A and B are shown apart, each in its own frame.
Chain A
Amino acid sequence: MKIKEIVVISGKGGTGKTTLTASLVPFLEDAVIADCDVDAPDLHILLNPRSEEEETFSGSAKAVINEDLCTHCNLCIDHCRFGAIDDTPRINPMKCEGCGVCEYICPVDAIALNDVTTGTVFKGMTGYGPMVHARLVPGEETSGKLVSQVRNEAKKRAESDGKRYVLIDGSPGIGCNVISSITGASTVLIVTEPTLSGLHDMKRVLEVAARFSGKVFVIINKYDLSVEMTRRIEKEAEDNNAPVLMKLPFDKKIVQAVTEKKIPSLAEPDLFEMAGWKNLLQRLRDPES
């Protein structure tokens, strides 16, 4: 059976991706859970996985200059397109993208490219099923590669455990992290909020989702903050063939549940029930229903 990947994204940050993903976990039996928000991973805080395996991830390399061999010809400085080499010359690892041009151009072989650890991948078991998450080394690039790694590990786990779904918590934005997490996924859930920012960012992420993945649905969080904006978001979503499946009100009880590290849908079942929870679950299990 083909594994279905359900990805939760938002465009704008802080609209409630992790709140929603964690809430889905106990209700989506038969799933492997993956947190692909690798530079701000939070899902483990609510799901508290027991760690089974941990491995470092090397997504890139950085150049290093051996100052004893360097003849100060400055060819490396001239050829670096990333402005990563100063006049010393010394390489700024925050700017180096590991392209290897300086290593190639150096006439005295004074430059070497070394693999660097760009993140850690954690595999574990929650009370609701296996979970994979990762943590980017702060400031590193290649976060898109780390996202792919998490997704692949989760998929492998789903295959070996015979699970039907992989449920993915994505990252904000529309760049490489997001594209890596949604490409080829069967279902994308966009969590938005009824603000001009939420609408603006949803429009952009809707288009990216339509380009890279399958069925797209929208969830409006804190919908009662602005009835007018909620209406505009509903219209935009419908126009883009992305039905709004759930509207959750702003309620301090949800913040409270997260603060107490509880899964919001279990802590506040009535709130979710009234917001269209059953409808959402039904459509996730059978998107064409």
Chain B
Amino acid sequence: MKIAILSGKGGTGKTTVSNNLAALISEAVLIDCDVEEPNSHIFMVPRITGEEEIQTGYPVVDDDKCIHCRKCADFCHYNAIIAGAAATMPLKDLCHDCGGCRLVCPAGAITYEKKGIGTIYTGKSRFGSDFLYGQLHLGELSGVKIINRLNEMTADRDLVLVDSPPGTSCSTVAALEDSDYAVIVTEPTPFGVSDMKMVVEMLREMEIPFSVVVNKAGLGDKEVYDYCRGENLSISGEIPFDRSVAEAYASGKLAVEISDENRSLYNTLWLNIRKEAEKSHEN
């Protein structure tokens, strides 16, 4: 079973929820797919046992062979090749590594080279469970390949928890690949509700069953509950806003470490999520 934890709006508590659950469930593998700004390793403090560089390809033009026909530039849908009368210049940052330019080049002047775009770290968390996270290199545009590889590396595992990127763009879609179930972490503010609606739309489109966790409950207002009722969404749990938890988070401590009350809160949350997830797959 693969369960993605996501949110739409940033900072609602994806990492909080996924990491507290990972700390409780020793058989779960946690993967941090928020490769632009990964944070789970701050709480998991993994002992790293493996590192893998993730690469992408980009075209290189052999000037001696290039006949300046400009077919490559005409073909490229990402405007990643500038071709003039005397020079053909690939822009590697815009390249999606589709291989099209090499395919259309009649002179065999294009080859592909590789560059690193990020790293995947594999290890054991300080709770003894398996943990992987990816990190995009600064200045790189897209972490989708890193996310795809994280999913590939954990495809045969029995229970995977995914700390997803915020938003609803291509990185989030990549993180959701092969997820059996999703948990939307939201907060009871107008921003939380608005961003959550986009996630609901996306999950329905992808046909992934899900439920909702309301974090920072007690702050804000009731709009999120009205919305969930109106859309017939089930709420797997509520996590009350607690300043002492926020302060512990600041220094890298998880809620389940600071009190038994929090431990039992997350235990109950996990039981609910598992029940909802199993129920959704019976139908």
A-side residues, CB < 8 A to B, are 10-15, 18, 38-42, 45, 60-61, 79, 81-83, 94, 97-101, 104-105, 135-136, 138-141, 143-144, 171-179, 193-197, 200-201, 204-205, 207-208, 211, 222, 225-226, 228-229, 250, 252, 255, 258-259, 261
Per the CB 8 Å criterion, the residue count for chain B at the interface is: 60
Q: A12-B11, A178-B36 are in contact. List 19 more A-B contacts (CB 8 A).
A: A13-B9, A13-B12, A40-B166, A42-B190, A61-B77, A135-B198, A138-B205, A139-B172, A141-B169, A173-B36, A174-B37, A175-B36, A175-B140, A175-B142, A195-B249, A197-B249, A204-B37, A226-B247, A261-B190
Whether A177 lies near B189 (C-beta < 8 A) is no
| B78 neighbours in A (Cβ, 8 Å) | 99
User: Is B88's CB within 8 Å of the partner chain A?
Assistant: no
| B189 neighbours in A (Cβ, 8 Å) | 255, 258-259
Whether B206 lies near A45 (C-beta < 8 A) is no
Whether B169 lies near A136 (C-beta < 8 A) is yes
A68 to B276, CA, bound (A): 41
Identity of the chain A residue whose Cβ is nearest the Cβ of B190 in the assembled complex: A45
Whether A101 lies near B103 (C-beta < 8 A) is yes
B-side residues, CB < 8 A to A, are 8-12, 15, 34, 36-37, 39, 42, 75, 77-78, 96-100, 103-104, 136, 138-143, 148, 165-173, 188-191, 194-195, 198-199, 201-202, 205-206, 219-221, 243, 246-247, 249-252
Whether B11 lies near A14 (C-beta < 8 A) is yes
18 CB < 8 A contacts A-B? A13-B9, A13-B11, A40-B168, A99-B100, A138-B168, A139-B170, A143-B169, A144-B141, A173-B167, A174-B36, A174-B138, A176-B141, A177-B167, A197-B249, A204-B138, A207-B138, A258-B190, A259-B189
**Contacts A139-B168, A211-B138 given; does A94 touch B206 at CB 8 Å:** yes
A211 to B199, CA, bound (A): 32
A225 to B242, CA, bound (A): 12
Whether A100 lies near B100 (C-beta < 8 A) is yes
Identity of the chain A residue whose Cβ is nearest the Cβ of B14 in the assembled complex: A13
| A177 neighbours in B (Cβ, 8 Å) | 167, 169
CB distance from B215 to the nearest CB of A (A): 10
Whether B42 lies near A197 (C-beta < 8 A) is yes
A11 to B10, CA, bound (A): 10
| B104 neighbours in A (Cβ, 8 Å) | 104
Whether A201 lies near B39 (C-beta < 8 A) is yes
